[in-house]
Amino acid sequence: MGVFGIGIDLVEVARITAAIDKYGDAWAHKIFTDRERGYCEKQHDSAIHYAARFAAKEAAAKALGTGIGKHAALQDLEVHHDENGTPQLLLHGAAKDFAKERGIAHILISLTHTKDHAAANAVAISVS
């Protein structure tokens, strides 16, 4: 196993709050999966959690070397928590295909946030 790529991203929570206020549910539906929206909406301050997930998607796209687009759409990159509450990145669609073609076994992520900022790191691990 080896490192295929790494990524990092930082998001201002105020930017996410403004998007939610301006576009409402349509914005969240465009970017986040049903499971992600369900998780965020259960939290006291959903914008902080949306911001962390947005940062994770951007960081993962950087780790893949694709950016957000043809090979990694925003909904192809899903943040999920395992039974211990540890964030995991699930790949779907084009991102899953892209990773498989390049021998990427999984992407490790780490999330953090404050009242004003959310950040994420991602490391794409290859099988070779």
Q: Which domains does the chain have, with CATH numbers?
A: 2-126 (3.90.470.20)
Please tell me what DSSP assigns to residue 115.
S
Instruction: DSSP for 81-98, please give it.
Output: E-TTS-EEEEE-HHHHHH
Beta-bridge partner residues of 112? 119
The two structure tokens encoding residue 74: 């925003």
Q: What is the C-alpha to C-alpha distance for residues 102 and 34, in angstroms, rounded to an integer? A: 28
Given a cut of 80, is residue 52 above it in pLDDT?
A: yes
Per annotation, catalytic residue among 49, 57, 71, 113? 113
Given a cut of 90, is residue 56 above it in pLDDT?
A: yes
Is-above-0.75 flag for pTM?
yes
User: Does 113 participate in catalysis according to the annotation?
Assistant: yes
Instruction: Burial-class residue 108 by CB neighbours within 10 Å (0-12, 13-18, 19+).
Output: middle
Per annotation, catalytic residue among 49, 57, 62, 71? 62
Radius of gyration of the chain (CA): 14
